[in-house]
Amino acid sequence: MSDLIITGGTVLTTDGPIRTDLRITDDRVSEIGQGLEASNVIDANEAWVGPGLVDMHSHLRDPGQDWKEDIATGTGAAAVGGYTAVLAMPNTIPVVDNAQIALYVSERGRRVGSADVYPSGCLTMGGDGERMAHIDEMWDAGVRVFTDDGTSVESAAVLRLAMEYIANLGGLVAQHAVDGAMSAHGYMHEGSVSSRLGMHGIPSEAEEIVISRDLALVRLTGVSYHVQHLSSMVGVGLIRQAKADGLPVTAEVTPHHLVFDHTDVASTDADFKMMPPLRSAEDRDALVLGLQDGTIDIVATDHAPHAPREKEVPFEHAPNGVIGLEWAASVTNSVIGDDQVRFFAALSSSPARIAQITDHGHAITIGSTANLVVFDPTERWTPTDSVSRSRNAPYFGRELIGRVRATVRAGQLTHGSTA
Ligand SMILES: [Zn+2]
């Protein structure tokens, strides 16, 4: 497929969205203009063409838990969802806390990935929250984002030290902002539904406390700081104020926190169990508003596969997390509405910039690497299955608006077909 054209779409260029065709030769965009012809054609009529999507929060489960997912199946789901790059979370088995494991993840991605795979690294050894990880050598291996995702770094002293190192290198500290002690025995949001079910809850303050403390450490160290899967109204308020104060702070929200709330958990269906938990409708509305007004920079999937037998247990015993790579773009589009610029900012250019993924997330120009997606913002569809190895998702049977028609990674079609 050395010469491929995408026709009839609205292309996100450096001058904004323009109705035009574009040609891809080998791995590059070679021509932008009207009336292009070639034997391989992707039909983008009525669709948006923009930079391939970039997910800042994927659990690919490799190494160590390939019954849930691996790098081939996880990036397969990413390609279906329009992603050309994913940031792999480091809480694998073993965790990514040194250069060797980081290099394994990126090398495995190069070999079997349908999307470019960028490893993130732990802040602490084994993710234990106590001893700083091999940050310098992971940096040399290309890691730019450091997080103990799955847990919050409890010790302010340890986090401060890691922040100083990472600020010095120019990297990003990303925080799973849920206080460990306050969430240890909770299964869902602490509120009216948890009271009714008699289930231990996790209050919004578990998020507020961690973000508040971390912002003090950001002031102290000057590090670039990113809040993962923001879940509460109070959390949104803290980020809004931090940005107004000029702090180098960014935040993400997951698709599920934008559309569901704790009343959905009343079913005790474990596909609604995640960390942080789905909170109140008021919290959800604040997250949507935060995404619309730019307080929240990006949508990140927190794609967290678990095998059916692991989720098909009583709610309290089920692991946290849902999969989301295949429909995150559709959910985001359903929430933010018909806005091509905002869509690609939230799902591509901003995550690429925040995670320092340089070859993705750019407006389309001649000569740039052809990492692209064709997205139809009006197609209505209902997810019924997944190419992920796992099926834990609350979206099956729910209608979504907008669908990925084709994904092109470095000039090669990774999803969709040509006419
Ligand atoms: Zn997390």
Q: How confident is the model at residue 2 (pLDDT cuts 50, 70, 90)?
A: low
Averaged pLDDT score across all residues of the chain? 96
Segment 262-311, tens digit of pLDDT: 999 999 999 999 999 999 999 999 999 999 999 999 999 999 999 999 99
Q: How far is CA 285 from CA 12, 96, 242, 245, 343, in A?
A: 29, 35, 20, 24, 18
- Cα-to-centroid distance, 152 and ligand 1 (Å): 8
> How far is the centre of ligand 1, averaged over its atoms, from the C-alpha of 345 (Å)?
22
Active site residues: 302
Mean pLDDT calculated for residue range 239-257: 98
How far the first Cα of the chain sits from its last, in Å, is 13
Token readout for 193 is: 């539904």
| Tokens 């935060």, residue located | 290
Model pLDDT, residue 1: 47
Average pLDDT, integer, range 217-239: 98
What does the pLDDT average to over 159-174? 98
Distance of CA 228 from the midpoint of ligand 1 (Å): 6
Under 8 Å between Cβ of 405 and 44: yes
Please name every residue paired with 33 in a beta bridge, in sequence order, or none if there are none.
21
- 391 exposure class (CB count in 10 Å sphere: 0-12, 13-18, 19+): middle
Q: How far apart are CA 133 and CA 121, in angstroms?
A: 8
d(CA 22, CA 406) in angstroms, rounded, equals: 14
Residue 83: the pLDDT is 98
Q: How far is the CA of 150 from the centre of ligand 1 (A)?
A: 4
Residue 226 and residue 354 in contact, taking contact as beta carbons nearer than 8 Å: yes
Dump pLDDT digits (tens) for 362-419: 999 999 999 999 999 999 999 999 999 999 999 999 999 999 999 999 999 999 999 8
Beta partners for residue 296, in sequence order: none
Question: What value does the mean pLDDT take over residues 42-67?
Answer: 97
CB 328 within 8 A of CB 255: yes
CA of 92 to the centre of ligand 1 (A): 13
Angle, alpha carbons 207-254-282 (nearest 5°): 60
Distance CA 63, CA 93 (A): 6
Measured between alpha carbons, how far is 84 from 70 in angstroms, rounded to an integer?
Answer: 16
With the CA atoms of 312, 316, 319 and 321 taken in that order, what torsion angle do they form, in degrees rounded to the nearest 10? Answer: 100
Ligand 1 (ion): which residues have CB within 5 A?
149, 176
Provide DSSP, 14-83: TTEEEEEEEEEETTEEEEEESS---SEEEE-TT-EEEEPEEEEEE---TTT-TTT--HHHHHHHHHHTTE
> Which stretches of 222-319 are assigned E, i.e. beta strand?
224-227, 249-253, 298-299
Mean pLDDT, rounded, for 37-48? 96
Ligand 1 mean position to 149 CA, how many Å? 5
176 CA to centre of ligand 1 in angstroms: 5
Q: Which residues pair with 189 in a beta bridge?
A: 202
| C-alpha of residue 148 to centroid of ligand 1, in Å | 8
Residue 96 one-letter amino acid? V
Q: How far is the CA of 120 from the centre of ligand 1 (A)?
A: 13
Domains and CATH numbers, the chain: 52-360 (3.20.20.140)
Under DSSP, the state recorded for 132 is B
